Amino acid sequence: GIQVEQSPPDLILQEGANSTLRCNFSDSVNNLQWFHQNPWGQLINLFYIPSGTKQNGRLSATTVATERYSLLYISSSQTTDSGVYFCAAYSGGGADGLTFGKGTHLIIQP
């Protein structure tokens, strides 16, 4: 199966700091996506980013498919950014589900 690896596993920052989360993935991965899971378990789709760069407010994401990695940038962190960030992707063929990484647990302290 496909491999999706995330780093760092944990990150503690002060409010206002910037952060970069990394996702490495194996061959035959497509439809790479980033999600945020809040402390109550709700999983929200942040970006669909198979390649290139996208921005949404203080968040942006870049995927370099040829080098098999994606980065999620969070600028001017707020306490509400706390939670777990997952990257996930579908494998190349067939009908299947998303394969998720183990996530980056982000804590933003006031």
Partner 1 sequence: DAGVTQSPTHLIKTRGQHVTLRCSPISGHKSVSWYQQVLGQGPQFIFQYYEKEERGRGNFPDRFSARQFPNYSSELNVNALLLGDSALYLCASSLARNTIYFGEGSWLTVV
Q: Are strands 10-14 and 104-109 parallel, antiparallel or unpaired?
A: parallel
Q: Within 11-50, which residues bind partner 1 (CB under 8 A)?
A: 31, 33, 35, 40-45, 48
Residue 67 CB contacts under 8 Å (≥ 6 apart), including other chains: none
Tell me the residue type at 88.
A
Using the minimum distance from each CB to partner 1, give the nearer residue, 43 or 64. 43
Q: Is 88 in the site for partner 1 (CB under 8 A)?
A: yes
Using the minimum distance from each CB to partner 1, give the nearer residue, 25 or 86. 86
Using the minimum distance from each CB to partner 1, give the nearer residue, 45 or 78. 45
Token digits of residue 103: 């996530």
Per-residue x/- marks for partner 1, 47-76, CB under 8 A?
Answer: -x----------------------------
Q: Exposed e or buried b for every residue in 55-93, given b needs 16+ CB within 10 A? A: eeeebbbbbeeeeebbbbebeebeeebbbbbbbbbbbee
Residues in the site for partner 1, rule: CB under 8 A? Answer: 31, 33, 35, 40-45, 48, 86, 88, 90, 94-103
